[in-house]
Amino acid sequence: MYCVGIDIGGMSVKAGVIDRDGNILKKGKVVTDVAGGDDKIISDIGDLVLSLADPKDRDFVGIGIGCPGAINSSTGTVDRAYNLNWTNVALAEKLARKINKPIKVSNDANCAALGETMFGVGRMYSDTIFITLGTGVGGGVILDNKLYEGNESKGGELGHMVLVVDGEPCTCGRNGCMEAYCSASALIRETKCAMLANKDSEMWKFSPSLADVDGKTAFECSKKGDKAAIGVVEYFVKYLGEGMLNFANIFRPQAIILGGGVCAQGDYLIDKLKDYCKDRNYGFEGMPRFDILVAQLGNDAGMIGAAGLIYSDLKK
């Protein structure tokens, strides 16, 4: 038994033949022809699938698709995807005209969450929260081994939980969202602030101009004992820790899985987060604690998790 998992990105569409254990048996890729419009992209996706798998093969049980933007997974429709310039595109229906297989569509971050939980670092757990720390903060919620998407699949916007009423402005229009404190962009903002306030910081050696600052600047200099850098890392850990504790109180997951570039810091970040959360766990002594894990499927998480949309449905 196998599925085709598809990850639609603004630059390219990646597809893979994924077996029941989440292994990638074959891979393919096509440029995302945004200018060509939705019909062209969907036609290209169809060709890509046909190049990887034969619809007549009964072992080929379905196609899962991860797509950026706001998706209605019950209808397989993309309501809005800004970087594809799509509005109300009946993705599943249109692809089904070309390939007669079960097709499931979900948001790309949700697929990554499902992939990591079914086949990645979270495979020993049934209830996880996945948080990606990138330009923004995205995530997904897995309850009882299945994706929880909320009403019209519009839930799971974990980055837009306000941690500080009247806090830093967020892209979503509100103030103080987790994204405004825990994204790579927020980390870079705080690093720059700390550098401007501390002209003798080691960070100026690591990143000679503000334009050179990235998500590593504060972390690497913090490891060398630079005070200003330590302050930035403590700030980042504090807000990320508070956000994770909130999700723990709301969902009480077995594990919270972190993804995104900053997780390359590995144990240096995770140990600090564990320390922060340790004494702040809600409730009595025996209250279940959550593990903190780093995602391990990397850029393939979305594609593998897209296949998981089909597999987790088979379980029903």
* Binding of its own copies by 148 (CB under 8 A): yes
DSSP state of 249: H
* Binding of its own copies by 30 (CB under 8 A): no
Structure tokens at 272: 């600090």
As a whole number of angstroms, the distance between CA 305 and CA 5 comes to 7
Q: How many residues bind its own copies (CB under 8 A)?
A: 45
Structure tokens at 60: 């080929």
Q: How many CB atoms lie within 10 A of CB 170?
A: 21
* Binding of its own copies by 239 (CB under 8 A): yes
Residues 25, 17 contacting (CB under 8 angstroms): yes
Q: For the packed helices 108-119 and 301-314, what is the interaxial angle rounded to 10 degrees?
A: 70
Q: How far is the CB of 264 from its own copies (least distance, A)?
A: 25
Q: How far is the CB of 177 from its own copies (least distance, A)?
A: 9
* Binding of its own copies by 127 (CB under 8 A): yes
- Side chain identity at 180, as an amino acid letter? A
Candidates 23, 33, 57, 155; binder of its own copies (CB under 8 A) is 155
Q: How far is the CB of 78 from its own copies (least distance, A)?
A: 12
* Binding of its own copies by 123 (CB under 8 A): no
As a whole number of angstroms, the distance between CA 107 and CA 7 comes to 10
* Binding of its own copies by 90 (CB under 8 A): no
* Binding of its own copies by 164 (CB under 8 A): yes
As a whole number of angstroms, the distance between CA 108 and CA 311 comes to 16
- Picking from 188, 195, 190, the residue whose alpha carbon sits closest to that of residue 213 is 188
Which range touches its own copies (CB under 8 A), out of 57-65, 107-115, 226-234, 244-252? 244-252
As a whole number of angstroms, the distance between CA 125 and CA 118 comes to 8
Q: How far is the CB of 162 from its own copies (least distance, A)?
A: 5
* Binding of its own copies by 50 (CB under 8 A): no
> Which residues of this protein are in contact with its own copies, per CB under 8 A?
70, 79-80, 127, 141, 143, 148-152, 154-158, 160-165, 172-174, 238-239, 242, 245-246, 249-254, 279-280, 282-284, 286-288, 290
